[in-house]
Amino acid sequence: MREKIQRFFYGRYGLDRLNQFILVLALIIEVINLFFRSFVLNGIFYVLILIYMFRILSKNIVARSIENDKYLRYKKFVIRRGKTFQSNIKDREHKVVLCPKCAQMVRLPRKRGKLEVTCPNCHAKFEKRT
Interface with Zn ion (CB under 5 A): 99, 101-102, 104, 119, 121-122, 124
Choose between 18 and 97: whose C-beta lies nearer to Zn ion.
97
On whether the CB atoms of residues 29 and 66 are closer than 8 A, the answer is no
- To the nearest whole angstrom, how small is the minimum distance from the Cβ of residue 76 to Zn ion? 12
- To the nearest whole angstrom, how small is the minimum distance from the Cβ of residue 119 to Zn ion? 3
In whole angstroms, what separates CA 124 from the centre of its chain?
Answer: 22
Task: Provide the H-helix boundaries in 1-130.
Answer: 2-9, 17-36, 39-57, 61-90
Task: Provide the H-helix boundaries in 91-123.
Answer: none
- To the nearest whole angstrom, how small is the minimum distance from the Cβ of residue 126 to Zn ion? 9
Choose between 29 and 119: whose C-beta lies nearer to Zn ion.
119
How far apart are alpha carbons 60 and 71 in whole angstroms?
17
Choose between 51 and 102: whose C-beta lies nearer to Zn ion.
102
Choose between 59 and 70: whose C-beta lies nearer to Zn ion.
70
